[in-house]
Structure 1
């Protein structure tokens, strides 16, 4: 598990960058597809009222962004507030292209609860040793079950069972 591989990511980071906005904002995100597969980005949990062409489901509401091209997505945040996530919505590219969206309250308003003392963003994901698109293609061609993930990740790290997670690792436990 503690190996490096070439994979599709955003701005060189895995998971991708955190997007911070406020309730009621409209964000413009330009996707430059420098990968080897067509891709779309879906804003999970964002309603996108009357704006399906920037919602991300490939061939459902949006055409994929071809390799070597760019597309600016208009992300309309109407009623959303809190922590959501964005991810690729093209085949298995979501396994490597994803990140958090933090939607703060609009100016002049507060959280519907006491403001927390601190904040920690946790992004959960799977790790596949092989190329995720090759795993998918092989499964579709052979009809065999897809290869299971090698590890579960928290903020891109696989946890205490792997030496590569020593710094920055999260541990969850309950107290009696």
Structure 2
């Protein structure tokens, strides 16, 4: 009788091995990116900067490995714009990759472009940014791609997750900074401040005191 039991177990194991593993259902995330000039104040002065949805830095996108992102990029600014998804392979949608006049034509003022970002093997913290001249100085944000398997990190599970975006701020209009160094053939003027998540540090004038010290983020962990 034992051979019958062993045979039954063998058939059961064979059946389990032949049943394909059900794939994890990928999701499609829909977003609107409205690009427009927005008044912002930093370092005790005001100027208009290019933003996405009025945010600086722009919105953080949270997805899972293998997902698809569909974004309607609506250009309400006075200049051309494209959005590049830095670190994403884009194997089937190269025309949504973002480099202006290389993989796609720019999105002209008053127009809209439906951008499709197909994630494949990407996992981790990436970023998206404008890819027209220096508009990326203010048009950028984080892209967080979680692994398919929950908590499947290639390192111990962190105690907290805090995206940190580093940037620079010029008191002058960013287009004026670009035009100046293109005309003289030199380097751009040094920025007036370094930024962490869109804010200057505590030692800069008119900063939000006690909020954006470089070490403040790690105090929260």
Q: Do both share a fold (TM > 0.5)?
A: yes
The alignment of Structure 1 onto Structure 2 pairs a total of residues equal to: 174
Give per-residue Cα distances to partners, 1:111-147, cap 9 Å, x unaligned.
Answer: 2333222111100111111111121122223434322
Shift >4 Å, 4+ stretches: none
Map of 1:27 onto structure 2: 69
Map of 1:70 onto structure 2: 112
SS in 2 for 1:42: strand
Give per-residue Cα distances to partners, 1:13-64, cap 9 Å, x unaligned.
Answer: 1000101111000100111111111010010111111321011111111111
Deviating more after overlay: 40-49 vs 113-122: 113-122
Q: Is the 8 A contact 2:122 2:145 kept in 1?
A: yes
Deviating more after overlay: 99-108 vs 41-50: 99-108
**Separation in 1 of the partners of 2:105 and 2:85?**
15
**Runs (5+) with no aligned partner, structure 1:** none
Q: Tell me which of 79, 82, 85 is aligned to 1:37.
A: 79
**Separation in 2 of the partners of 1:167 and 1:54?**
40
Q: Structure 2 length normalisation: TM-score?
A: 0.73
Please provide the CA RMSD for this pair: 1.9
Map of 2:211 onto structure 1: 168
Does residue 100 of structure 2 align to residue 58 of structure 1?
yes
Deviating more after overlay: 109-118 vs 13-22: 109-118
If asked which structure has higher relative contact order (CA below 8 Å, sep 6+), I would say 1
**Runs (5+) with no aligned partner, structure 2:** 1-42
Indicate the structure with greater helix content. 2
Q: Is the 8 A contact 2:202 2:210 kept in 1?
A: no
The higher radius of gyration belongs to: 2
**Separation in 2 of the partners of 1:126 and 1:86?**
16
Give per-residue Cα distances to partners, 1:45-88, cap 9 Å, x unaligned.
Answer: 11111321011111111111001111111111110111111000
